[in-house]
């Protein structure tokens, strides 16, 4: 995969990053303790942990109305097949209660309810769409107004941080899904522990995320597509190059498949086999764990 030096001249962060950096520099001149704050990554740039949530929220506020379109661009449309396979792998049963985290636009939630209806004739399944960004949730709410699930108990929306599901009771969900969202969280270990807490015994955690391509030839092609094509398409389609540059960089900073599978185990989940399934040469992967 491309290294930060490979794209250093190409990478630009969102305007809010520069604003935060300026604020941090001003604070540093008045408070020497600022520099001792723990850091994390925002794309290829290191930022204070306390800053990342605001930066990520700004990115998704920027892309909310074009998010699903840009998923088509970023995956060549293949994300639709991945998500369909993701839902078939989850294979929800009648009456399943699902928490879909980072699911603001409602894409996974819609697939879940449609699967339950078409496979089981079930109208008792319920999904809570949970997202940190109100702009993304508004897109999801609007999507559901055009469906038979609108104004029913089958779907609800909740704003909050995946690291602290304070309004979701212990042992209350049959399934927890998160698609293309966990890599944007500051503390992935906290997200996993919260997922474990809210699932019922026997409940299933499933994550669909962009991952690491091992084949060197395919990896090289994927790098060119990621760093040259996707940000350019972000500029053309959404008039926002920076946000899509961040999204590409965030993929490269996410742990590879085996490392993330271990993190899921460390959170308490029981993992079957290697714990993940590669999709499209590892461009994406489905991770799974059970609360047993």
For the annotated binding site for S-adenosyl-L-methionine, the residues are 105, 131, 161-162
From 84, 64, 40, select the one nearest 183 (Cα to Cα): 40
**Count of beta carbons in the 10 Å neighbourhood of residue 138:** 16
From 126, 118, 112, 105, select the one nearest 173 (Cα to Cα): 126
From 206, 218, 211, select the one nearest 272 (Cα to Cα): 206
Rounded to an integer, what distance in angstroms lies between the CA atom of residue 177 and that of residue 163?
14
Please say whether the beta carbons of 247 and 59 come within 8 A: yes
Residue whose pair of structure tokens reads 């008039």 in the numeric block: 239
Instruction: Give the SS3 label for residue 200.
Output: strand
Taking the C-alpha atoms of 117, 288, 66 and 72 in order, what is their torsion angle to the nearest 10 degrees? -90
Residue whose pair of structure tokens reads 């879940």 in the numeric block: 112
From 199, 196, 180, 214, select the one nearest 86 (Cα to Cα): 180
From 121, 48, 82, select the one nearest 206 (Cα to Cα): 82
Please say whether the beta carbons of 93 and 120 come within 8 A: yes
Secondary structure letter of residue 186 according to DSSP? S
**Alpha-carbon distances of 212 from 11, 84, 103, 256, 278, rounded to whole Å:** 20, 21, 22, 6, 9
Q: Which residues are annotated as a binding site?
A: 105, 131, 161-162
């Amino acid at each position: 995969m491309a290294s930060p030096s490979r794209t250093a001249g190409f990478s630009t962060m969102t305007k809010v990053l520069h604003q935060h950096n300026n604020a941090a520099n001003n604070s540093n001149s008045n408070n020497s303790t600022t520099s001792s704050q723990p850091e994390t990554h925002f794309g290829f740039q290191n930022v204070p942990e306390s800053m990342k949530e605001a930066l990520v929220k700004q990115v998704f506020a920027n892309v909310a109305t074009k998010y699903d379109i840009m998923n088509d661009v970023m995956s060549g449309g293949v994300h639709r097949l991945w998500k369909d396979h993701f839902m078939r792998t989850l294979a929800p049963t009648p009456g399943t209660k699902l928490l879909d985290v980072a699911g603001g636009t409602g894409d996974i939630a819609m697939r879940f309810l449609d699967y339950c209806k078409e496979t089981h004739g079930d109208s008792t399944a319920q999904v809570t769409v949970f997202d940190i960004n109100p702009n993304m949730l508004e897109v999801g709410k609007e999507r559901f107004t055009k469906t038979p699930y609108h104004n029913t108990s089958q779907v609800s929306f909740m704003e909050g941080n995946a690291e602290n599901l304070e309004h979701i009771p212990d042992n209350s969900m049959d399934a927890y899904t998160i698609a293309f969202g966990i890599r944007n969280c500051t503390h992935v270990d906290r997200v996993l522990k919260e997922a474990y807490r809210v699932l019922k015994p026997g409940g299933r955690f499933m994550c669909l995320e962009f991952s690491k391509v091992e084949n060197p030839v395919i990896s090289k092609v994927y790098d060119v597509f990621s760093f040259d094509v996707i940000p350019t398409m972000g500029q053309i389609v959404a008039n926002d190059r920076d946000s899509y540059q961040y999204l590409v960089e965030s993929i490269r900073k996410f742990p590879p498949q085996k490392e993330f599978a271990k993190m899921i185990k460390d959170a308490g989940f029981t993992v079957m086999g290697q714990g993940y399934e590669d999709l499209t040469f590892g461009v994406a992967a489905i991770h799974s764990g059970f609360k047993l």
